[in-house]
């Protein structure tokens, strides 16, 4: 495909709302399983249920104006989402950090994540070191590793992460 390929013209990107919480919570829980089954302890994965993620989504959408989430829709159905907020490390608070970016498995490689990222316009992000697909995606969008890695954690389970910025 050409690097100038644009996302599907039927794609709509809009702000997330409280009423999206069950749908986005389910998608979020499914992608955690896809990424981390066999990696994170089962006890951690069990905490990331659709219900728990829906409850978190209710909190995400009402956290304040610097916390912004966008939903991608195709034909009226949510197929992806992105969330940003203030940088969470000391010295980065003024910047915008990408907290999460997810596209449903059935509609990947159609430019949806690229469109979501363009809309969210973050300065930097942390990504699991072994998430090659995401690291390749971010590199293609001109985010580059800035030589900083950390032993991060996801819901209390350790996860090695690298920082990418532009
Ligand atoms: C990473 C992810 C968000 C990419 O979403 P997507 O909508 O498929 O990405 P796009 O179609 O916008 O991809 C744009 C470009 O990035 C690169 N890219 C995307 N996915 C890739 C993959 N799996 N392998 C290699 N390159 C990839 C390609 O260059 C692609 O362009 P092309 O399809 O014309 O070759 C998606 O795979 C996903 O949701 N993964 C699970 C969740 C996740 O890992 N999120 C990121 C960490 S929080």
Confidence label for 85 from pLDDT (cuts 50, 70 and 90): very high
Place of tokens 């089962």: 42
CB 125 within 8 A of CB 142: no
The total number of structural domains in the chain stands at: 1
Q: Cα(80) to centroid of ligand 1, in Å?
A: 12
* Cα–Cα distance, 10 to 31 (Å, whole number): 23
Q: Does ligand 1 come within 6 angstroms of the Cβ of 53? A: no
Confidence label for 4 from pLDDT (cuts 50, 70 and 90): very low
32 in any annotated domain:
yes
Nearest CA to ligand 1 atom 25: 133
Nearest CA to ligand 1 atom 5: 113
Residue 7: predicted pLDDT: 67
pTM score > 0.85 for this model? yes
Confidence label for 17 from pLDDT (cuts 50, 70 and 90): very high
Place of tokens 């969008």: 141
Q: Does ligand 1 come within 6 angstroms of the Cβ of 133? A: yes
CATH of the domain at 29: 3.40.630.30
144 in any annotated domain:
no
Average pLDDT over residues 88-109: 96
Cα within 13 Å of Cα(114), Cβ side: 17
Residue 153: predicted pLDDT: 85
**End-to-end CA gap in the chain:** 24
Nearest CA to ligand 1 atom 23: 133
Is pLDDT at 152 greater than 80 in this prediction?
A: yes
Nearest CA to ligand 1 atom 4: 113
62 in any annotated domain:
yes
Confidence label for 2 from pLDDT (cuts 50, 70 and 90): very low
Range of the domain at 55: 11-125
35 in any annotated domain:
yes
């Amino acid at each position: 495909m050409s690097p100038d390929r644009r996302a599907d013209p039927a794609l709509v990107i809009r702000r997330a709302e409280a009423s999206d919480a069950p749908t986005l919570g389910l998608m979020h829980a499914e992608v955690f399983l896809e990424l981390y089954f066999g990696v994170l302890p089962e006890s951690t994965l069990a905490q990331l249920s659709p219900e728990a993620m829906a409850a978190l989504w209710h909190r995400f959408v009402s956290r304040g104006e610097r916390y912004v989430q966008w939903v991608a829709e195709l034909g009226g159905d949510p197929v992806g989402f992105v969330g940003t907020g203030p940088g969470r490390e000391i010295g980065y608070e003024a910047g915008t950090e990408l907290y999460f970016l997810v596209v449903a498995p059935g509609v990947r490689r159609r430019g949806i994540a690229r469109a979501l990222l363009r809309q969210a316009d973050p300065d930097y992000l942390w990504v699991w070191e072994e998430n090659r697909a995401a690291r390749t995606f971010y590199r293609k969008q001109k985010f580059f590793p800035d030589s900083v890695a950390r032993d991060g954690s996801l819901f209390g389970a350790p996860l090695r992460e690298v920082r990418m910025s532009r």
